[in-house]
């Protein structure tokens, strides 16, 4: 064998526009195309197909009928309250998780993330058991003499919010945690030695640096909560109709595909707006 044969090829490979590794995404894209994009197109098609061909009747009803407008408002409100609650509870929790050491961190991790392994249906039923008229909470308060008669908790908005925040809290904690974990814990110390008060340190150092995690958590929890179906169904039933519940009713009970599809399209638009808005915001925050 000659020395030239052993040498590395002299001519560089021609530059390609697409990395061949990108081809690895094809099977996944094909799968998504079949199970996601196609049904989505069918859904959008259903939303504009009335009994006599093309019609926007579905959208007119969803966006014009006070009842359905109320449902959209209720869903947005549920999404907002859940997101706000999860943020207030999850933000400090994410810091505790990121700063905890050794065994404490394992324990906190378990507390935050083990609930994810429990089905959302089980969790919502669990809240039912806790909050029922003859549930654990009423039983405990009666026996402690805090109340004289059982308090109605289930089927109240408070119970719904508690259940929703419980279900979606991990989705707020995780993105904030992952940002905080990368944050140098000496930065607030550095700010302190420069004369910054605790409030100034938080608003000018800690908060801005954790904002990308907050934006990710907020968009994740809001888009999940606004589309929630199981938890509101089990904790509130028909008393608190969300967009997802109307969709289920339209498709399963009323067999009104156009209504259901139009509602689904509105929900999709709301979620897409939030997610796209968040990623734009995040890019701007991360641009520094």
Partner 1 sequence: MTGMAALQQAGHLTVAGASKRFGAALVLDDLSLAVAKGEFVSLLGPSGCGKTTLLRCIAGLLRPDAGHISVAGRDITTLPAHRRNVGVVFQNYALFPHLTVAENIAFGLRAQGVSKSESAPRVAEALALVRMTEHAGKPVTALSGGQQQRVAVARALVVRPSLLLLDEPFSALDRKLRETMQVELKHLLREVGITAIFVTHDQEEALVVSDRIAVMNAGRIEQLADPATLYGRPASLYVLDFVGQSTRLAGQVTEAAGGMLAVQTALGPVRAPGQFAPGSRVVVAVRPEAVVLGEAAENRIAARVREVSFLGSRTQLHLDLPEEGEDRGVVELPRLPEGIGPGSAVTLAFREADTMVFPAP
Residues lying near partner 1 in the complex (CB under 8 A) are found at 184, 186-187, 189-198, 200-201, 204-205, 208-209, 288
CB of 104 to partner 1, least distance (A): 15
CB of 182 to partner 1, least distance (A): 10
Q: What is the SS3 assignment for the chain? A: CCHHHHCCCCCCCCCCCCCHHHHHHHHHHHHHHHHHHHHHHHHHHHHCEECCEECCHHHHHHHHCHHHHHHHHHHHHHHHHHHHHHHHHHHHHHHHHHHCCHHHHHHHHHHHHHHHHCCHHHHHHHHHHHHCCCCHHHHHHHHCCCCCCCCCCCCCHHHHHHHHHHHHHHHHHHHHHHHHHCCCCHHHHHHHHCCCCHHHHHHHHHHHHHHHHHHHHHHHHHHHHHCCCHHHHHHCHHHCCCHHHHHHHHHHHCCCHHHHHHHHHHHHHHHHHHHHHHHHHHHHHHCC
Cβ-contact 204, 247 below 8 angstroms:
no
Shorter beta-carbon distance to partner 1: residue 150 or 188: 188
User: How many C-beta atoms lie closer than 10 Å to residue 288's C-beta?
Assistant: 5
Shorter beta-carbon distance to partner 1: residue 39 or 198: 198
Shorter beta-carbon distance to partner 1: residue 31 or 200: 200
Shorter beta-carbon distance to partner 1: residue 204 or 239: 204
CB of 279 to partner 1, least distance (A): 19
Shorter beta-carbon distance to partner 1: residue 133 or 186: 186
Shorter beta-carbon distance to partner 1: residue 121 or 182: 182
CB of 194 to partner 1, least distance (A): 3
CB of 204 to partner 1, least distance (A): 7
Shorter beta-carbon distance to partner 1: residue 119 or 197: 197
CB of 217 to partner 1, least distance (A): 18
CB of 282 to partner 1, least distance (A): 13
């Amino acid at each position: 064998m000659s020395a030239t044969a052993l040498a590395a090829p002299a001519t560089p490979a021609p530059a390609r526009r697409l990395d061949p590794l990108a081809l690895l995404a094809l099977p996944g894209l094909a799968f998504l195309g079949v199970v996601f994009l196609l049904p989505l197109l069918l859904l959008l098609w259903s939303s504009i197909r009335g009994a006599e061909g093309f019609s926007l009747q579905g959208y007119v009803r969803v966006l014009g009928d006070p009842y359905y407008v109320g449902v959209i408002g209720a869903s947005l409100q549920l999404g907002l309250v859940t997101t706000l609650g999860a943020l207030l509870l999850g933000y400090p929790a994410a810091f505790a998780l990121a700063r905890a050491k050794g065994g404490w961190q394992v324990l906190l991790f378990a507390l935050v993330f083990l609930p994810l392994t429990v089905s959302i249906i089980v969790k919502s039923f669990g809240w039912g058991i806790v909050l029922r008229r003859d549930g654990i909470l009423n039983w405990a308060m009666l026996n402690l003499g805090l109340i004289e008669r059982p308090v109605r908790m289930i089927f109240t908005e408070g119970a719904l919010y508690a259940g929703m925040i419980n279900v979606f809290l991990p989705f707020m904690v995780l993105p904030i945690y992952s940002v905080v974990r990368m944050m140098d814990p000496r930065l607030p110390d550095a700010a302190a030695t420069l004369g910054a008060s605790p409030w100034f340190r938080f608003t000018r150092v800690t908060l801005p640096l954790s904002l990308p995690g907050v934006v990710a958590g907020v968009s994740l929890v809001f888009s999940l909560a606004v589309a929630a179906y199981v938890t509101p169904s089990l904790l509130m039933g028909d008393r608190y109709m969300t967009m997802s519940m109307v969709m289920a009713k339209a498709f399963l009970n009323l067999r009104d595909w156009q209504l259901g599809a139009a509602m689904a399209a509105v929900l999709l638009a709301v979620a897409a707006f939030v997610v796209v808005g968040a990623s734009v915001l995040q890019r701007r925050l991360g641009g520094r």
